[in-house]
A and B are shown apart, each in its own frame.
Chain A
Amino acid sequence: MVRVERLGKRFGAHWVFRGLSFQVKSGDCLVVLGSNGSGKSTLLKVLASLASASEGRVETSSGLKLGYASLDMSLYSHLTAHEHVDLLGKLRACPVDADKVLGSVGLSVSRDKLVGQFSTGMRARLKLALATVHQPDLLMLDEPTAALDEAGQDIVESVVRGQLSRGAVVLATNDKKDRRHATHELELAG
């Protein structure tokens, strides 16, 4: 699914990570660990082609469907939750039952609320829903449980389990509880 060879990223003279090589296959859950600033989020961005690598390369299967949710990614504050799901469904050209998608992350009652009025936890749930709206082959989650209550963490767990039954997961986290999903671990030293 994804093969990474001697991947490196630097900002100015500082290498955030360097010489990373690994593979992610269907059914794998790669948990990326490391302290704040160790490059977890940057690695996920490079894998998703949202940031450029400074060296090395990322090989992906052709037609790979990617889902991505991160803490620092924002939503449109003047659109409702339902409009977000509808927009992403249309852009990904996949028919979406927005009510079902929102129900799966516990946001049914907030479907017509503007996202600007959402709490941090509700936003995190919506990001999770948007990342999986097209049934991706590879789901990348950056600190998915950081802003969530217990019920929200259960939702993340069920999303990760569901994803592993049809594809793979790359999960960057500081939360040791998230290690229970791991089939592989990668610790970044920073």
Chain B
Amino acid sequence: MNSNWLAKSWAVFQKEWRSEMRSKHGLYTSILFSLLAVIAMSFAAFGSPPKPDIAAGMLSVTFLFSAVVALPRTFLAEDENNTFDMIRLAAEPSVLYFGKLMYNGVQSLLSCLVLGVVFVGVTGTSVRDPLLFASACVLTSTCVAGGVSLCGAIVIGSDNRWLLGTAAAVPVMLPQIFLGMGALRTSFGSGMATNGWSAAIGLAGWSLVLWSAGPVLAPSAWKTDNSIG
């Protein structure tokens, strides 16, 4: 990774940001899903705050699905709109992947932070450990961005993308769901603080794995090399 590589990745990030700010496709999809999910959950609880374990599960699921409906588009839209050939001839696959991963990271972070606050406000869930809650939201967002980007990149160009995406998403997302729920549950007052922080550290580690492995693993699925030059 050098400054040239980072500058190119930054150019891809800017392209994604500009496109999204002008089309707002992912943003609107994410907001719509998240708000409906939170409102539905608050109705389901009949106005009383849900128990910490249930609240953690509900928020984790909402984080995950708001990301799943919006983030893979960064990759899939390139394929569906026939724009992928243009940029993959112009830059190394790892550059394209990392630029898109950065963009997904930012979108996911904003989405998780807003969603976390809205969820707590609407459902009336009490947060016993605000620092752990904030850490869980931030780390879940980085995990989700890393996982969804990896799956989106792997399935691009595949004939059976939804089947492949589902098969790839289960092992990538399960650790994040398990650890994220653990950290959120403790932040809402269930279980021991040390368990919550252990889960948060686990989330940080899984994020690191996904963000490091993604630029190496995902672009290998894009290679079409007929050349021996």
Contacts and interface: CB of A to CB of B under 8 A. Distances in A.
B228 A114 contact: no
Contacts, number: 84
A90 interface: yes
A7 B228 CA distance: 13
B11 A49 contact: no
Nearest to A4: B226
Interface in A62-98: 62, 64, 66, 68, 70, 72-79, 83, 87-88, 90-93
A61 interface: yes
B74 to A, nearest CB: 12
Interface string B146-169: 000000000000000000000000
A91 B22 contact: no
Contacts of A59: 227-229
B91 A78 contact: no
| B interface majority secondary structure | helix
Give chain A's interface residue range (CB within 8 Å of chain B): 35 or more
Contacts of A83: 15, 18
Interface stretch (A28-36, A50-58, A156-164, A174-182): A50-58
Given A83-B15, A93-B7, 20 more contacts: A48-B89, A50-B85, A50-B88, A50-B89, A53-B226, A58-B228, A58-B229, A68-B85, A72-B82, A74-B81, A74-B86, A75-B83, A76-B15, A79-B19, A87-B14, A88-B86, A88-B90, A90-B11, A91-B8, A130-B86
Interface of A: 7, 45-53, 57-62, 64, 66, 68, 70, 72-79, 83, 87-88, 90-93, 114, 130
